[in-house]
């Protein structure tokens, strides 16, 4: 059974967006130089043409800080103006301390608390929903939500089944109190841990602490059962959106734009078809950035706004599926 619709008004709106990607572009042809793959295979099966790769020494917190720096400049915020900082990431600089602490320190934010949130590719959406609750409760007036992932740190460069899919990048948004009937209207999130082995990093946690054996077995890299994840993603992306549409008395035709997690263009196309949504209303930046995990949704949102695809009053859905499994969708009326 879906969650009951939360009480309205939730009272939080996205008032600014920003992004950062590293300079280095890695094309499919570059990858074909070291892996048994081809531009044709990658484009046909995934829609990805290129992705970014962090410079030597560049980290998740550095990328996240660059996105937040740009966000604060766009909104004219100073170091005392951010109440909370929530960082969604699967590739923290270290297991601890939290990436939020590192970004806070890098930017000299003086009045901020924050934390990291782990929900893989659904991380940004879960962080968005969490941050919105701080605004809705009246506890905070400005919450920064960051999705940042340096996927090159955990991708096996010898594994053609995953190395071609992922990229590095960061996106950030600012949440502030919304005008009545604008901003975040509803959300639907679910976790299903039975999928834990279909997309994971086997070692490095308390289950399999780092050892010579885990390193030799390449268990500190991401592992994926691609076909299982693909099927799950197609059914769940459409399913989550349908839950929100149904309980808010809407149809797909009411949506100006869907901003989906960017894992595979074929997942986006199949989701659009299941919903009867015009393909141009399904945001896609996957050709340029690949799957940047927690960063894909803020990157795609920033891009859609920059291209004028979202206007005040538009209904927009953000939707994600990730390791765990984690799924979720968020409905908003753009302010």
Ligand X SMILES: CC(C)(COP(=O)(O)OP(=O)(O)OC[C@H]1O[C@@H](n2cnc3c(N)ncnc32)[C@H](O)[C@@H]1OP(=O)(O)O)[C@@H](O)C(=O)NCCC(=O)NCCS
**Closer by beta carbon to ligand X, 70 or else 149:** 149
Bridge partner residues of 166 (DSSP): 291
DSSP letters along 135-179, please?
Answer: HHTTS-S-EEEEEEEEGGGTS-TT-HHHHTTB-EEEEEEEEEEPP
Helix/strand/coil for 19: strand
Task: With CB under 6 A as the rule, give the number of residues binding ligand X.
Answer: 22
Helix/strand/coil for 311: coil
Indicate whether 189 belongs to the interface with ligand X (CB under 6 A). no
Range 304-333, binding ligand X (CB under 6 A): 321-322
CB-based contacts of 149: which residues, under 8 Å, 6+ apart? 60, 89, 90, 91, 168, 169, 170, 292, 293, 294, 295
261 tagged catalytic: yes
Tell me which residue of 26, 9, 96 sits closest to 61, measured CA to CA: 96
Indicate whether 46 belongs to the interface with ligand X (CB under 6 A). yes
**Closer by beta carbon to ligand X, 130 or else 291:** 291
Region at 303 (left for phi over 0; alpha for psi -120 to 50; beta for the rest): alpha
**Closer by beta carbon to ligand X, 223 or else 247:** 223
Indicate whether 198 belongs to the interface with ligand X (CB under 6 A). no
Catalytic residue among 28, 101, 188, 261: 261
Take residue 105 and report the two structure tokens written for it: 């320190």
CB-based contacts of 273: which residues, under 8 Å, 6+ apart? none
Q: Within 10 A of 27 (CB to CB), how many other CB atoms are there? A: 14
Indicate whether 164 belongs to the interface with ligand X (CB under 6 A). yes
121 tagged catalytic: yes
Among the residue ranges 72-80, 93-101, 157-165, 214-222, the one whose residues contact ligand X (CB under 6 A): 157-165
The Cα–Cα gap between 116 and 327 comes to 18
List the one residue from 6, 9, 27, 41 that touches ligand X (CB under 6 A): 41
**Closer by beta carbon to ligand X, 71 or else 200:** 200
**Closer by beta carbon to ligand X, 191 or else 250:** 191
Catalytic residue among 28, 264, 281, 291: 291
Please state the closest distance from residue 264 (CB atom) to ligand X, in A: 4
Among the residue ranges 158-166, 214-222, 246-254, 280-288, the one whose residues contact ligand X (CB under 6 A): 158-166
Bridge partner residues of 199 (DSSP): 224
Among the residue ranges 37-45, 96-104, 128-136, 246-254, the one whose residues contact ligand X (CB under 6 A): 37-45
Please state the closest distance from residue 107 (CB atom) to ligand X, in A: 29
Range 248-277, binding ligand X (CB under 6 A): 263-264, 267
Range 76-135, binding ligand X (CB under 6 A): 121
Residues catalogued as catalytic: 121, 261, 291
């Amino acid at each position: 059974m879906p969650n009951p619709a939360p009480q309205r008004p939730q009272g939080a709106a996205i008032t600014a967006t920003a992004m950062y990607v590293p300079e280095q572009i890695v094309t499919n042809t570059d990858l074909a130089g070291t892996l048994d793959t081809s531009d044709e295979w990658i484009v046909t099966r995934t829609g990805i043409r290129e992705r970014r790769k962090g410079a030597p020494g560049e980290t998740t917190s550095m990328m996240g800080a660059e996105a937040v720096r740009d966000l604060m400049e766009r909104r004219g915020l100073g170091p005392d103006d951010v109440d909370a900082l929530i960082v969604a990431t699967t590739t923290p600089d270290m297991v601890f301390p939290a990436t939020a602490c590192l970004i806070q320190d890098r930017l000299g934010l003086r009045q901020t608390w924050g934390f990291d949130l782990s929900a893989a590719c659904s991380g940004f959406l879960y962080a968005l929903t969490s941050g919105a609750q701080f605004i809705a409760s009246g506890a905070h007036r400005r919450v920064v939500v960051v999705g940042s992932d340096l996927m090159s740190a955990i991708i096996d460069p010898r594994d053609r089944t995953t190395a071609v899919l992922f990229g590095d990048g960061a996106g950030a948004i600012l949440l502030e109190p919304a005008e009545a009937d604008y901003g975040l209207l509803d959300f639907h999130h679910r976790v299903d841990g039975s999928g834990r082995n279909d997309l994971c990093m086997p070692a490095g946690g308390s289950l399999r602490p780092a050892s010579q054996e885990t390193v030799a077995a390449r268990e500190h890299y991401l592992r994926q059962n691609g076909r299982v994840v693909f099927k799950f993603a197609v059914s769940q992306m459409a399913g989550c959106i349908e839950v929100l549409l149904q309980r808010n008395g809407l149809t797909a035709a009411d949506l100006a734009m869907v901003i989906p997690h960017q894992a595979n263009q074929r997942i986006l196309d199949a989701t659009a078809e299941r919903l009867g949504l015009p393909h141009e209303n399904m945001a896609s930046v996957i050709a340029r950035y690949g799957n940047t995990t927690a960063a894909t949704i803020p990157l795609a949102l920033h891009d859609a706004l920059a291209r004028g695809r979202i206007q005040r009053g538009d209904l927009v859905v953000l939707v994600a599926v990730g390791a765990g499994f984690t799924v979720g969708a968020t409905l908003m009326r753009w302010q």
